[in-house]
Structure formats: structure tokens, C-alpha cells
Chains A and B, each alone.
Chain A
């Protein structure tokens, strides 16, 4: 069930909220049970058989967590906790590996050895990457004593709580469940409900009004690049920039909606975005983009790899490996490997720069160059991330590097004559603005607006309530149109991970 679908907005959400607070007045376990059941229903809506997989994962991790948290409860010989943890991690990684990576692995094994193993098509269970990471964190936290949870119901509610189940934010048990233990969580609170609803509406606007429009511009470029079409300079850059904006508005919109939904239930989820495209360096970018994933990778990959404890060279290696794993986490494909490697290299280079070369950090030129370089790395990274293969990415890069010519609509150049020195005129520029002049104008106008929002406007969390209401007043009409009348609801990009 999508957050932006009418069944969710007008059916699932109001019923779940109403019964949660109604039951909460009489019985907290009943309210928890209802919310957990509703969350599982929410997950099953997509593909009911995969609820079995989620349930297996929940039962196993609850059991493993229990063994790690309360070993004294078991009389007689028991596996050492380290082995329980190892088995738990192996189960989760094996689970993820089978569903997400087995086809990729076999394909590459075939290519490498000339063997002919059959690649079975395995449907990827929704949200597997997210809930697997969350469960790994739960087991590790259980091992180090940060978690104490005996109740199976409580664990199910933590693991399946629908606002964050599908695409994060990736949360720790210790930051979520203590909130469910407070009595006031079960009392309807207008202020939290309204704050949550406002965040939800703003996130919905980002998704429906902005991300889905930018998707139109980027899809036409990447889909045609996939067929081997020659993409010229302007459409190639527009495709790359549009995807850069699409992904941000899509994923940060989703996160805002998730945080808003949780807030309606009086639960605070951690922030996931903080104006990432305003970052002046790639280090800063990863402190602002998908913050809960960065935190997970730091705590459960980078630090266990030894972090920055054994000298600089080891630190850079660890950074590279962490980002490589982060890339592979996103998907089973060489594009994600290259994307992770690109960010790993950029992060390591950024740390080298900071450690050795750093110049006049306060100067405008330094900051501007930092912003520009960061953006270039991020945009190029997104091209690889979006492309279905490295060949497709190469095709788009060729366009961006002006290998296929630079064209604008003839009628455009008739008005903006100085541009003739840079661009040739065509009646219709393929893959640009529906191949119409006003379509091209629309793309430029939307990109200008999108860039204005991400580079110049405060983010939702920096806004006062009054400012948020002002944005709702501007955006809600368009959002309402999209949700109720446009007739096409697109899934969130991160659902595929």
C-alpha cells in the first residue's frame, strides 16, 4: 500500500489511527496489538505471501534477540552469545543475499566461468533491505546490552511499525520502543497529530507535485539511453539533473511522510534528510543524505571494520569498503557497485584533503568550489545509480560530455540569439520537453524551481509552523489534484531497495 494511494489516505490511515487511540483508552496491549496487526496488513497488501517471509524474519530475530538478552533464563548448556549473534547475522545476511543477490551472483558466475547455471527469477520482497538492516542493528544492540525486550508483541510492533517499515528511516529499538511504553503515546494529541499531518502533507507534495514531474523528464532520457539512442547535451544534463531532484524529492518526501505518520501516533522518528544538496563537501553530504543509513553504516560496518583506529590508510580503506557495501545494499548490480565505489573514493579523497591539503576553508571561492565539486560527484553518481547498466550510464555521460552535439529548439534560439554560439537549432530536440518548445520551457522552469527549493529554501524541519502552513497553502491544491484526479500513483523510488 502506497502512502500516496487513496486506499491508504482515506481508508487505512484513518481507521488505524481511530482504533489505535480508541483501544488505547482501555487497553495499551490491545492498542499495540491493533497497530502491529494493521502494520502487517499494510505490508501484506503489496503481496500477501511475502508476509510469511517477514514473519519468519520477525520470529527468528525475536528469538535470537531473546537468547542474546536473557541468556541467564536458560538452564543447561547454551550456545555462547557470540555464536548466537553470528548465527543471527548469518541468517539475516543469508536471507537478504538469497532474495536480493543470488540472481546477480549466478549471472556473474556464469559470465566469469562460462558455466550455465540457471538464474531463477526471485521476486524481491518489499523493504527487505530496510528491515534486514534494522534487525541486524537489533541483534547487535541486544548483544552489547542496549536492548531489553521480553514481549513478542512489542518486538513485532517495533519491527513492523508501518510508517518506517518499507523505506525507513532505519531506526534502533532503543529510540522507538521507549516511546511506545509511555502512556501519553496512547492518548490522542492534537498538536502531534497536526504536526504529523502537516509533515505528511508536505512530504506528499514533494512526492506527487515535484518528484513525479521530474520523473517524466528523467525517464525519457534514461529509457531512451537504454535503447542506445544518442542523447544530446541538453537532454542528457536535464535527465541527470531531473533525476537528482526526483530522487531527493521522492525519498525525502517519503521520509517526511513517514516521520509525519509516526508523529500522528505520538512517535518521533529520527530525521533522514537535512538539505543534502547544500552540502559543501561529500563528507557533509553523507551527514545530510539518508542520515539513518549513514548512521547504520558507520555503527555497524565502518566501526567494526576498525573505523579510524589503525592509521590513515586503514581508515580510507574502511571508508571505501563501507560505501561499497552501502552501494551494494541499494541493489544487486554493477551500477550500484560503481556508485558505492565512487562515493567511497570521493569520501576518502575528501578526508585526505581535510587532513593534508585543506586551504582557506572560509573563503567564498573555497566554499563555492566545494559545493560545485560535491554536486558534480553526486550528480554523476546518480546517473550511474539510475542507469539500468553501465552501458546506459556511459550513454548518458557521452551526451553530458557533448559527444552527440548540443541542440536547442530552433524557436528558442530565435528568441535567445546569443545561444546560437553554443547550440544548434532543431525543430524538435529529441528527448527534451516532449519535443515541443513550450515543453522545453516547462522543463527549464521546473528545474529552476526545483533547484531554488533545494539550494535556497529552508528545509521542512527548519520551518516554523506558520511557514509550513504557508507552504501547505501553496502546494495542497496541486497535491489534491495529483492524488485524486491525475489517476496515476507512482511508487516511491526506494521501494525497489
Chain B
């Protein structure tokens, strides 16, 4: 019986060690912790600028394929690119954007196709949850007990090994190819073109490409609920929201049915939806390292076109006429 209780104790200590290790000891400075630096940089710019302003909200497609610098120059109001990474949960971005919105602001949302069907559990176990469990535990409380527990138990053995590797590389001064130094002040990714894109030519040539599937807006319990709450908040607070299509390869056209589904989703919450003539689709040669990331030159062209599409939807400033 003593041996049995030793086994029970070993199990208990193991779970405790697991929580202590991932909650207090190891971290992933190169991949996970970076998202907080990015968010802080973007929010600092948002806080430093006046209203009305523009937010571009999506995942890495926003950061790589959209240029707030271009939108800002074209539309004459501050623009903050909130895109960080694909695995950052939308609701974390919403939580950070929402307090910074004011009537007359515009939020453009070219959300990636895969994000719409993300489940509630996936939302609770994104990169931000890993970051928050390690460095910002108090902020997890907003997600309730389930959110805290899911964040606490999202780490695997490979995560542990990656953490050790990243901590070692970080200590050795190794940096990722992206960082605060490759973001402009609006939060756009820059420099992802030319020689930097050369090693990815083969990847882009062989990539399958991102495309909406039949389950595009299935699974309404997760990302779509968070999106719905955010859209309702914007509608109720005089913020204009414009949904849009993410940038993808133009191998085949995005079907009308998918566009109609997305348009309906946004319309149900009083938001607009814009579709550019090219449906945000570009030749593979315009892409950088994945099927969602345009090269900088294409990013700027796309943003130019987007500015023209958004101009008529911009809420007028007090006393301003378009």
C-alpha cells in the first residue's frame, strides 16, 4: 500500500513539476515571447495616435500582406497593423484593440480562411495562451477556469525541448529573421522581398495554397463567436468594420459561394465586406514564404488597391466631406 501511495505521489509531483516548469521555468523567447513584443509595439503606436484611426486585424496575413504605412499615406489617418502570427487567437487581439476604439474608427479584417473554423478549444490554446500562462497569468483569468486549465495543459514534450533550444539560442544571441527591427512603426512587416525571399522560391512553387474549404464557416462555437462579439461591440460603439479577403495564390478563383458566406457573416453583425476585383489573389511570384504572405512590393501594391476600396467606406471626420 505504501508503494501505491508512492506511485500516487509520483503522479501528483509530476503534474506539479509540469506546471512549475511551463509556468515559471522555461519559455520560448524566439517564437512565443516575441508575440508580446509585437503586440506592445503595435499598441504603443495605437496609443500614440489620435482618432479616427484604422486598425487592420487578422493574423500574419495582415502583417505581411497589408501595409498600414501605405493606408495611412493614402487615407490620411493613423493605421495600426495588428497582425502577428497565425496561431495567435483572435480574441486576444480583440481584447487589445477593443479598448482603443472610438466612434469614427475603421477596422479592416482580412481574416485568414482557416481562422473562421477555429474551435473554442483551439482559441484557448493559441500562442497567446502559452505566452500568458508563462508571463501574464492574471490575464488568462478572463477566459475563466477552462481557459486557464487549457492554457496550463497545452505543453508537450516537444514544446519542452523547443523551449530549451530557444532559450539556448537566445542566450547565444541568435535572432529570428523577423523581429521588432523588421516592423515599421505602424506594425507592418518590411524587408520581405528580393534576396530575403530567394530561399523560399521552392517553397512557394510547391506550396498547396490556402483556399476556403466547405467548412469555412462551420464550427460557429469558436472564432466566429469571438468575431461576432467584436463586430457587435463595434456596431454599438460607432466603429465601422469592413471584412475582406486574405491574400492567396491565384491558381484558382475564390468561389462566389465562399465570398457570400463571409459577406453574410459580417452583415449579420452590421459590418461591411469588400471584395477587390482580383479577390485578393496574386500570382505565386508575388508571395514571400507561405501562401498568405505577399512580398513587400506586392504588399504595397495590394494596400494601394485596398486604400481605394476602403476610401468610400471611411466614416467622415466631424465636419469632413469625402
Contact = CB atoms under 8 A, between A and B. Distances in A.
Interface of A: 190-191, 193-195, 197-198, 201, 209-210, 213, 410-411, 415, 425-428, 430, 435, 438, 441-442, 445-446, 449, 465, 469-470, 472-478, 480-482, 484-487
B121 interface: yes
Max count, chain B CB within 10 A of own CB: residue among A213, A442, A449: A442
A487 B121 CA distance: 10
Contacts of A486: 156
Nearest to A449: B161
A445 B18 CA distance: 19
Interface in B34-64: none
B316 interface: no
A442 B162 contact: yes
B166 A438 contact: yes
Interface residues of B, number: 40
A438 B11 CA distance: 30
Contacts of B11: 201, 472-473, 476, 480
B267 interface: no
B199 A469 contact: no
B4 A194 contact: yes
B162 A438 contact: yes
Interface of B is mostly: helix
Interface in B215-249: none
A195 B7 CA distance: 9
Contacts of B155: 481
Contact of B6 (A435, A469, A484, A485): A469
B154 A485 contact: yes
B13 A445 contact: no
A427 B158 contact: no
Contact of A190 (B4, B150, B200, B203): B4
A469 B162 contact: no
A93 B205 CA distance: 51
Nearest to B119: A487
Given A191-B3, A442-B161, A445-B161, A481 B153 contact: yes
Contacts of A213: 156-158
A484 B153 contact: yes
A485 B150 CA distance: 7
A425 B199 CA distance: 7
Contact of A469 (B7, B30, B150, B154): B7
Contacts of A477: 14-19
17 contacts: A194-B4, A213-B158, A415-B169, A427-B200, A430-B202, A430-B206, A438-B162, A446-B157, A469-B10, A470-B10, A473-B10, A473-B11, A474-B14, A475-B14, A478-B157, A485-B153, A485-B154
B11 to A, nearest CB: 5
A412 to B, nearest CB: 11
B182 to A, nearest CB: 14
Contacts of B160: 478
A411 B196 CA distance: 11
A198 B17 contact: no
